Structure 1
Amino acid sequence: MARKMGFYGILAYIVFGFLAYWYLFYLADTSLPFEFQGSRADPATFLNPREYMLSEEYSKIRNLLFFLSTPYEWLFYFLVLLVGLSGAFKKWGKDTFQHKLLQNGVYIFWLSLFSYAATFPLSYISYNFSKTYNISTQSFPSWMKDELIGFWVNFVTLLITISVLYWLIQRSRKYWWLLAWLLSIPFTLFIMFVQPVVIDPLYNDFSPLKNKELEAKILDLAGKADIPANHVFEVNMAEKTNALNAYVTGIGGNSRIVLWDTTLNRLSDGEILFIMAHEMAHYVEKHIYIGIAGYLILSLFGLWLTSRMMAWAIRRWGKELKVDDVGDIRSVPLLLMILSMLMFISSPASNFVSRYQETRADRYAIEMTGNTDDAIGSFQTLTKAGLSQVNPPLLVKIFRYGHPTMLERISRLEDYEVEQRNKNTD
């Protein structure tokens, strides 16, 4: 039975991969609707034919890798259970240490290591394509350094999470999910608080913005929005990528406004001020805190559903999965697989909310800065630098896009421009 389940699991993944490839490369229509042709949202107005061709090719490959990687993770955890690797990891832990926490550490280490090894090919392919299309400028040693940092950060996080979670399961089989959710609230807030000053600097070098004239303009903009900001940070990303970005991260006293140096190098001051006004809108409209609240609500329902699905799966296929109890650490791959599935299923809803917030932020930014040429110029340069599709396929938008498409963002700015022109003529 276990062999049959494994065969059907692999077959299902292969079929899904072919369907995803067929959809992205043959079925999906990414052409610009007739009514937008010739507008400033039309790629033909700011991309040359070669750039447009490369953006379509790169986007299709990147989207295919996304749709392949998530179910690949599910398949990996499924096979780890079926072939008995989870049981082997547990045995190695018991053979090495007597203390429960140290046994858990051995188990999580081997699970993390096998998971990293299994997913490394897809990660490397993604990195290699980014280099080929001149998005990534990162050397292989630098990329591997980031990969290894990510491995150890994930290992420590998973070790703490799993150790606490399974301790709760042992204490309360019925309500462990609720207790875990209650503990996740301070843990989530703590991670968000320390991320800008502890985790992010592990990957990149941050420093106060060197262009003090631009910083003064940004802080003046922040003052008009009643944002208590004293510094703007820049991060050295040119050694890793040609893409552009800016963001607000952290909560409370550790909040930071961050600009990539690639953004500083490619955009004018006016375009940067529009981007900064957009990021400030998230602070003004409390999108960060709304996002935290939404995440906690979803995680409460997700943990409850996970507890039910784990118990059902073990009752139904415990023998094949080689797990006979929810509290047995051998069930960790089942837990991670279910959580990953639920996150993927819920992503359209969370992306929809995110796109709404980003639309609000765009509106706030253009009303604050008032310069549609700079705003549209910034989006055109972002598209060009990242080889992004202006009008991505519907399923890609639903599952991948936390921002509106560039077609939507630029066309809304053009609509705003028309609104202002009409107001001025009345």
Structure 2
Amino acid sequence: MIRKWALRAIVTYVLFGIAMYAYLFYLADTSIPEMLQGTKADPTTFLNSRELMLSEEYSRIRNLIFFLATPYEWLFYYLILIFGISSAFERWADKTSKLFVVKIAIYLFWLSLVSFIVMYPLSYLSYMISKSYNISTQIFSSWMKDKWIDFWVDYGMMFVIITVLYALMRKFKKRWWLAAWLLSIPFSIFMMFIQPVLIDPLYNDFYPLKDKELEAKILEIADEANIPAEHVYEVDMSSKTNSLNAYVTGVGSNSRIVLWDTTLERLSDEEILFIMAHEMGHYVEKHIYIGIAGYLLLTLVGLWITAKIMERWVNKRGKLWKVEKMTNIGTLPVFLLITSILLFAASPLSNWVSRYQETRADTYAIEMTGDKEAGIQTFQSLTKAGLSQVNPPYLVKIFRYGHPTMLERITLIEEFRIEEK
């Protein structure tokens, strides 16, 4: 029976992969609408023939890896459950210590390690593809260092979350999901607060912007938008990537405006100011707080659904998987599998909200700077640097894109009418 379930799961995954390959490489339409051909949103006007070919190739491969990676993770969780590997990890933890916290730490270490090993081939493939298309400039040792930092940071956060989660399951048999949600509120805000000062510096070096003249210009438009910013930071990314980026991170006194050094090197001051105005648009329109509220609402619904499905699933299949109670740590792959599926299912909605907010921020940037040409040049440069598809397939857009497509962003600027102040 178990072998039959495993075979069905593997065959389903393979068939899904074949279907996605056919869709992305043969069926999906990425052509530019006739009405927009020849406009500044048409990639043929700012990319040469080789860049056009490479952007299509690279984007298709990256999109395929994305659609293969998430179900691959689901398959992993499912197989370690039905083959009793999760229960074996739990038995090892039980034999090692009687302390609940130590059991969680041991079980989670083995699960995290096996997960790292199983997911490594796809991660390495993604890295090598980025290298071959000259997107990544990172040497292998540096990449592996980041992977190990990821492993231990994720392990540390998961240890705290899972320890509290299963303690709540034991204490509140029916309402553990509600207690977990209530505790997730301060935890999420705390993580956002420490992210810029404790976690991000583990990966890259951050320092105040060296170009003080540019910093003064950025702070000037920040002051005009009533944003309490005192410094702008740059981060050393040129040793890892040729892509361009800038962002605002953190909350409260730890909020930061950050520019990648690649952005500073390859964009003009006008283009950088447009990007900064875009990021400030998020602050002005309270997108970070709207995002937190939306995240917490989805978390509440997700935990409730997970609790219902998990209880039924464990009651029905638990003995077969050698996991008899939902409060056993061996049920963790069930929890992770369900939550991962729910997150994937909710991604079209969350991405739609994000795209709306990004459009609002683009509009704010145009109005703030009054420089449509800088906005168009910025998005064209981002497209070229990242080998992005200007008009990606529909499924890619709804499942992957938290920003509008470059076709939509450039068209918005071209058609935007700036009112005289």
Give the TM interval when normalised to the shorter protein: over 0.9
Distance 1:146 1:33 in 2: 41
Counterpart residue number, 1:271? 271
Structure 1 residue 6: deviation in Å?
1.0
Distance 2:295 2:147 in 1: 26
Segments of structure 1 that go 5 or more residues without pairing to the other structure are: none
Counterpart residue number, 1:89? 89
Within 5 A, what are the aligned runs for 1:208-357?
A: 208-357=208-357
Distance 1:72 1:121 in 2: 11
Asked if the contact 2:87–2:321 (Cα under 8 Å) also holds between the matched residues in 1, the reply is no
Secondary structure in 1 matching 2:242: coil
Within 5 A, what are the aligned runs for 1:391-410?
A: 391-410=391-410
Counterpart residue number, 2:372? 372
Deviates most, 187-196 or 320-329: 320-329
Does structure 1 residue 136 correspond to structure 2 residue 136?
Answer: yes
Secondary structure in 2 matching 1:76: helix
Secondary structure in 1 matching 2:234: strand
Distance 1:96 1:129 in 2: 42
Asked if the contact 1:278–1:364 (Cα under 8 Å) also holds between the matched residues in 2, the reply is yes
TM-score by length of 2: 0.99
Counterpart residue number, 1:198? 198
Secondary structure in 1 matching 2:404: coil
Secondary structure in 2 matching 1:257: strand
Asked if the contact 1:2–1:321 (Cα under 8 Å) also holds between the matched residues in 2, the reply is no
Deviates most, 117-126 or 82-91: 82-91
Distance 1:155 1:78 in 2: 20
Secondary structure in 2 matching 1:404: coil
Structure 1 residue 11: deviation in Å?
0.9
Secondary structure in 1 matching 2:319: helix
Aligned residues: percent identity?
A: 63
Counterpart residue number, 2:61? 61
Distance 2:374 2:322 in 1: 60
Secondary structure in 1 matching 2:327: coil
Asked if the contact 1:116–1:151 (Cα under 8 Å) also holds between the matched residues in 2, the reply is yes
Within 5 A, what are the aligned runs for 1:38-77?
A: 38-77=38-77
CA offsets, 1:254-297, max 9 Å, x none?
00000000000110000000000000001010100100000000
Segments of structure 2 that go 5 or more residues without pairing to the other structure are: none
Query: Which amino acid letter does the alignment assign opposite residue 307 of structure 1?
Result: A
Q: CA RMSD of the aligned region, Å?
A: 0.9
Distance 1:313 1:82 in 2: 12
CA offsets, 1:17-49, max 9 Å, x none?
011101000100101111111000111111000
Query: Which amino acid letter does the alignment assign opposite residue 119 of structure 1?
Result: M
Query: Which amino acid letter does the alignment assign opposite residue 161 of structure 1?
Result: I
Counterpart residue number, 2:2? 2
Structure 1 residue 91: deviation in Å?
1.4
Aligned length: 420
Distance 2:171 2:96 in 1: 25
Structure 1 residue 5: deviation in Å?
1.2
Within 5 A, what are the aligned runs for 1:403-418?
A: 403-416=403-416
Structure 1 residue 324: deviation in Å?
1.8
CA offsets, 1:31-72, max 9 Å, x none?
111111100011111100000000000000000000000000
Distance 1:95 1:313 in 2: 26
Structure 1 residue 312: deviation in Å?
1.3
